[in-house]
Amino acid sequence: MGYRARTDRSQLEQHATEQAALRRVATLVAQNVPPSELFGAVAREIGTLLGADYSGMLRYEDGGTVAPVATWAAVGEHPPVPDRWRTEPGDPTTMIAETRQPARVEDWTAVPGPIAAFIHDELGVRCSVGSPIMVEGRLWGGVAVHSKQRRRLPADTESRLQRFTELVATAIANADARAELARLAQEQAGLRRVATLVAEGASPTAVFDAVAAEMEALLDADQVALSRYEPGAEITVVAYRGSGTWRVPPGTRVSHEGESVTALVHRTERPARVDGFARARGAIAEIARTTGARGTVGAPIVVEGRLWGVIVASWTGEEPPPADTEERMAKFAQLLDTAIANADSRDQLTASRSRLLTEADEARRRVVRDLHDGAQQRLVHTIVTLKLAQRALRQGGLDAASLVDEALEQAERSNAELRELAHGILPAILTRGGLQAGVDTVVHRLELPVEVDVTAERLPPEIEASAYFIVAEALTNVVKHSRAGRAEVTASVRAGALRVEVRDDGVGGADPAGHGLVGIGDRATALGGRLRVESPAGGGTVVAATLPLPA
């Protein structure tokens, strides 16, 4: 009876001691102390509680290595430990990683690998027990106690270790959550700053520099480069941040042939990573070696569905970039898509307006010239001839009738030329009958079968005029260049826009940069619309314009 009482008392004392240790660790967890302080306290508490000679905690890393994060010794200082250990099949760290369960070693002499050599030879340990630290279902690390004594560690050591690992897992999860929230907040702030520049219409150079700076800071990268793909398997660096800037300043043009993230992204149009350049070939790989880059991640910059360039981040350390790096970089690449597209649109609009102004000035000069050289000269001739006829009538001359006939002929020619000139400016039928009537007039003058399906709805004058000239110019190109047997013209109002399409069955191969098509595109752009040209060789041509209607 007395033995049972002493045993019960001993168990109660052990339980109380363990609960006190767990409360101290739980308090540290609740206080969000730094990880190093928490890990050190856990190693001390479990070592003391379980009467061990040594205890420690480690973290699993990629590449089959583990890194110690805390150590404790019952007597004196714990001997120095390596920064990292390579795991070995058959050692406890591998057993824990494979089973996600506690592991026990009763005799280290039979265990292979560098960890076993250190624990047995350096520390003189005979037996050990380790338990995994699982954070949200993921193996994060492990804790272990070691004894130099001949007696085995108690049978309940595994379960008692697990109670501490649960607290450690909670602390790590909390710390990870706080770090993730902080990281997301910083990332969103960076994205907002870049988005503000884009919305304000900042120049592409300013946006490129801002993105490079934000990503260098957010990713803790050693180098960040933004490059534009060029013809001939080359890139042009448009922004660079980090070490080695003098080697690749903005404006540098270099081949991307060989083995590099830039080449991978160009080939696949998807994010990619490279973990080393020791044996890689190519100009970019050589630059990476000279700048000390090891891990590199790249994300494509796609503008309006077309691969435009690449953004690349590099690190010089041995640690590989985090698994979510590609995803984070892609968010900034999407903003670059908008910035570049906006800048291209502004440049195209400026060029389009400039061409329209030049074309308008030339049209005015042509009208003045045609009036001066044609109708005006004929009218002057008419006036002079009528004055001669007037004089002949007063003098009783016989040639007065012929002079009147000549003046009448010149007046009729002047009238015809004026009508033709007015038709080239804006046909009266368009003003009276709308787009449908205007297109019918154009089609009736052509020696080409044209099927017409044009809305009879009246539209704003500027829309009708632009649509008319787009159809007229497109059909003129069909007659002159396409060798087509037939054509189709359609125009309809859908989703708040007039959609005009001219299609032919000719030889195709139309040049979108040709003068006629550029002029059509300028008209569409001036009204905030867009032009699409499809002209495969031998497959006919489609010229389609979308003109937004006023709200």
Domain locations along the chain: 15-178, 186-342, 427-548
Picking from 410, 439, 416, 420, the residue whose alpha carbon sits closest to that of residue 367 is: 420
Q: Quickly tell me which residue has 């050692």 as its tokens.
A: 91
CA-CA distance, 409 to 420, in Å (whole number)?
A: 17
The residues facing 296 across adjacent strands are 274, 314
| CA-based R_g, the chain, Å | 41
* Residue type (1 letter), 368: V
Ramachandran bin of 136, using left for φ above 0, alpha for ψ from -120 to 50, beta for the remaining angles: left
Q: Which residues contact 534 (CB under 8 A, 6 or more apart)?
A: 541, 542, 544
* 311, 238 Cβ separation under 8 angstroms: no
> One fold for both 186-342 and 427-548?
no
Phi, psi (degrees; rounded to nearest 5) at 407: -65, -40
* 87, 179 Cβ separation under 8 angstroms: no
CA-CA distance, 132 to 58, in Å (whole number)?
A: 10
Ramachandran bin of 538, using left for φ above 0, alpha for ψ from -120 to 50, beta for the remaining angles: left
Strand pairing report for 103-105 and 127-135: antiparallel
* CATH fold group of domain 427-548: Heat Shock Protein 90 (3.30.565)
Ramachandran bin of 361, using left for φ above 0, alpha for ψ from -120 to 50, beta for the remaining angles: alpha
Q: How far is CA 60 from CA 319, 418, 546, in A?
A: 13, 89, 59
**CATH for 15-178?**
3.30.450.40
Q: How far is CA 548 from CA 177, 320, 501, in A?
A: 48, 50, 15
* 144, 164 Cβ separation under 8 angstroms: no
Q: Quickly tell me which residue has 């033709």 as its tokens.
A: 420
**CATH for 186-342?**
3.30.450.40
* 455, 435 Cβ separation under 8 angstroms: yes
Give, for all 551 residues of the chain, the pLDDT tens digit: 454 545 556 667 777 888 888 888 888 877 878 888 888 988 999 999 899 999 999 999 877 899 999 999 999 999 999 888 899 998 999 999 999 999 999 989 889 989 999 999 999 999 999 999 998 888 999 999 999 998 889 899 999 899 888 888 888 877 766 666 666 677 777 767 777 776 676 777 777 788 788 888 888 888 888 888 888 888 888 888 887 667 778 888 888 888 888 999 999 989 988 887 777 888 888 888 888 888 889 888 887 778 888 888 888 887 778 888 888 888 877 777 666 665 544 444 444 444 444 454 455 555 555 555 555 566 666 676 777 777 777 777 657 777 677 767 767 666 665 655 555 556 677 778 899 998 998 898 888 999 999 999 999 888 888 888 889 889 988 988 899 999 999 999 998 899 999 999 999 988 887 777 877 877 777 777 888 999 998 889 999 999 888 87
